[in-house]
Amino acid sequence: MSERGRRQGLTTRWRLAIGLVALLLLAGALIPASSRPGMLQLVALDAAGQFHDTVSISAAQVDTTGDAIARVPLVLAVRNVGGSALRPGTLEVNLPARDRLVTAAGRVLEGHTVVGSPLTRYVLDLEFPSVQPGRLPTLLPGTDTLWVELIVPTYYCVLPADSVPDFIPAPAPDAATLAQLRIFYAFYGREVPSRQTGVLELRIDPRSLPRDTAAPLTAVEQPRPVALPEPSTLRPVGSRTLACGEPDAPVTIRSTLWQTPDGGRVFTLDYAHVTRKWLYDLNRDSIIEWEASNTGAGRSRLLRAVRFPIPDALMPVTTPPKADSAAARPPPDTSP
């Protein structure tokens, strides 16, 4: 074949290819939008009043009061970028395990964690309406503003071989890491043809986050402590559970707060239904001054005088137990 013939053949093939692409584009444009599947996205309101799947959080929007190092407001909505309406039944939200999701009223939502997973899973069963394509995003029904609280502990709880919980200062957080918050989500339900997933990204101004949350911890050996309160005089205030030990295999510790007749505080830490440690803040200055422990030998003994702020994880979140319950009975004697 001559050079001219080859050029004519290439030109003909290019024309056919261009014509085929044009036909496909025309066919796609003629297909009604309603016949294309819907596609749901989770979006959040930004400072300019617009919804996006990547939102910048300014320092003015970050709340640094309370026991969290920062609280970030979230006004969430659902957007349909597909071609047909969808009505989800459930929204699943996954946050980093160090953070938590809180309602505007301050109620911490119940999350689910799996050992070894870096995420906490929240399942929101809401009465979603039908989300129409090409419309403004639909606010989450029944919710106003949710808050993401960034939790960086002052202390880590560790559990040595003697099963007596101990606290060590936590390292300072990396503000750059905390400032990049990725929320993994999924929509599903009977009216959603398949599980639809995505990522909502929050970019927090790192200047709004504290640089150092480490707290000092000192201990001084003492042969004998000050007079400790009689267990029978202690009044129960409340209790809570906390995770202790390695992050990939934590155990549950129960912390109970008691009040002395003079208004001082005594914390008891139970592991495997046995009280393993007593912490004393006798002058109520929020500083632990003494601790005693039970190594399992059947008798507790005073170990040391200490000085460190009360870890937030020990403060109770439940109401005081009933007076006739075992949890309301005075803790066992801790005299050496």
The boundaries of the domain holding residue 248 are 218-328
Q: Tell me how many domains the chain contains.
A: 2
Place of tokens 């039970």: 294
- 306 in the same domain as 253: yes
Tell me the CB-side half-sphere exposure of residue 45, using CA atoms within 13 A. Answer: 18
Whole-model pTM over 0.85: no
Q: What confidence tens digit (pLDDT) does each residue in 146-205 have? A: 999 987 777 888 888 888 898 888 777 777 888 899 999 999 999 898 899 999 999 999
Residue type, 207: R
- 189 in the same domain as 72: yes
Residue type, 243: A
- 306 in the same domain as 245: yes
- 231 in the same domain as 90: no
Q: Whole-angstrom Cα distance, residue 267 to residue 328?
A: 13
Q: Whole-angstrom Cα distance, residue 260 to residue 230?
A: 9
Q: What confidence tens digit (pLDDT) does each residue in 14-27 have? A: 555 555 545 544 54
Question: What is the domain-level CATH number for residue 146?
Answer: 2.60.40.10
The residue out of 161, 181, 208 marking a domain boundary is 208
- Contacts with 271 (C-beta within 8 Å, 6 or more apart), sequence order: 159, 163, 165, 244, 251, 252, 253, 254
- 230 in the same domain as 140: no
How far is CA 286 from each of CA 233, 263, 315, rounded to the nearest angstrom?
20, 12, 11
Residue 262: inside a domain, yes or no?
yes
Residue 146: inside a domain, yes or no?
yes
- 304 in the same domain as 228: yes
Q: Whole-angstrom Cα distance, residue 66 to residue 232?
A: 33
pLDDT value for 319: 46
Residue 11: inside a domain, yes or no?
no
Residue 167: inside a domain, yes or no?
no
Residues 104-125 as b/e (b if ≥16 CB within 10 A, e otherwise) read eeeeeeebeeeeeeebbbbebe
Q: Whole-angstrom Cα distance, residue 270 to residue 172?
A: 28
Least confident residue range of 42-51, 122-131, 181-190, 224-233: 224-233
- Contacts with 279 (C-beta within 8 Å, 6 or more apart), sequence order: 266, 267, 269, 288, 290, 291, 310, 314
Q: What confidence tens digit (pLDDT) does each residue in 245-303 have? A: 776 677 889 999 999 999 999 999 999 888 999 999 999 998 898 988 887 655 556 66
- 177 in the same domain as 61: yes
- 139 in the same domain as 76: yes
Residue 7: inside a domain, yes or no?
no
- 190 in the same domain as 70: yes
Q: What confidence tens digit (pLDDT) does each residue in 238-253 have? A: 998 888 877 667 788 9
- 127 in the same domain as 65: yes
Residue 10: inside a domain, yes or no?
no
Report which DSSP code applies to 171: P
Cα 322 from chain centre = 30
Residue 333: inside a domain, yes or no?
no
- 47 in the same domain as 184: yes
Q: Whole-angstrom Cα distance, residue 114 to residue 96?
A: 12
- 281 in the same domain as 195: no
